Amino acid sequence: MMPSDKRSLVRNGVGASSVTLPNKGPWSTVLEYLIERFPTIPAETWAARFAAGAVLDAAGQALSADQPFRGQARIHYYRDLAHEVPVPFAAPILFQDEYLVVADKPHFLSVMPAGQYVQETLLVRLKRATGIDTLTPMHRIDRDTAGLVAFVIQPETRGAYQSLFHSKAVQKSYEAVAPLHPDCAFPLRYQARLEESDNFMQMRVAAGAPNSETIIDLIGSDPVSGLGHFRLQPITGKKHQLRAHMNALGMPILNDPIYPAHLPAAPDDFSRPLQLLAKTLRFVDPISGELRAFQSERSLDRAIDLN
């Protein structure tokens, strides 16, 4: 039985993770099972979570470290990353009504909790700021990318808003700074087939029918540095599409840690953000029928001298 109020499973803006215990096994306690189930998490960490009341049963009640193992029981737990590095940039809310929240995400901030990022994510920050635990992203952008992200407030309208992206009913534009290629004439419409590469972080251009499309235009340029300020309009929404397309054209976006070469993992250099910005977002609201149009208040560092 789930807690009667699902918001009770949200603490400090973070929802609980969940696991269902196996039907049977050699474990005498829930703690023993969790230690074996998650071998990368130290036993001391699990013991501390139990002591802090951060492991719950299906009804949302805190479990003790000696809780007997019971097959098929549903367990909820909260994870916290002791060494999560704060992202020192604000994520202002640009718009909020009863249906939507639109935020202006900074570089280096993930949209959703995943992997090593929990507290330092846009979703968690917004839940704290608004007190709305039902927030769900309408769409996502890369952690490296700054700019607009819209969130749905009411669970019953999530499908209607998220389907706008599947049906290509949303107009988006990005800005980027990248080296100019002498053989490219703008505006250009670039189509390519993108597939996962051997490097799981990268997409590659492959032979075959195109499955991705971007319109690229030049806003400004600097002949001394050889850099251009671009407007990118994705027609499709493949993973890393803009970054992969610009790289394939010989114009990798400035400060990209993945294209053209995936750099080794390293601490974030907050002085060198990826020069990619989700600038505008437009769509007809599926609930109200109104035209929604939003624009990021951010600017790219390297674009200032190119216009």
* Structure tokens given for 115: 């992997």
What confidence tier does 2 reach under pLDDT thresholds 50, 70, 90?
Answer: very low
Over residues 188-203, the mean pLDDT reads: 91
pTM across the whole model: 0.80
What integer pLDDT is reported at residue 244 of this predicted model?
97
The pLDDT of residue 82 is 56
**Residue located via tokens 């972080």:** 201
CB contact at 8 A, 36 and 95: no
Is there a contact between 134 and 154 (Cβ–Cβ < 8 Å)?
Answer: yes
Cα 94 versus chain centre, distance: 18
What's the DSSP call for residue 21?
A: P
- What is the set of domains in the chain, with CATH numbers? 6-77 (3.10.290.10), 93-303 (3.30.2350.10)
Average pLDDT over residues 179-193: 95
pLDDT at 236 over 80: yes
Q: pLDDT-based confidence at 305, cuts 50/70/90? A: low
Closest to 238 measured CA to CA, from 208, 262, 204: 204
Q: Of 273, 262, 255, 257, which is closest to residue 88 (Cα–Cα)?
A: 273
In this predicted model, what pLDDT tens digit does every residue of 44-53 receive, in sequence order? 888 888 888 8
Distance CA 112, CA 132 (A): 15
Mean pLDDT score of the chain: 90
Q: b vs e for 58-69, b when ≥16 Cβ sit within 10 Å of the residue's Cβ?
A: eebeebeeebeb
Specify the higher pLDDT residue, 254 or 303: 254
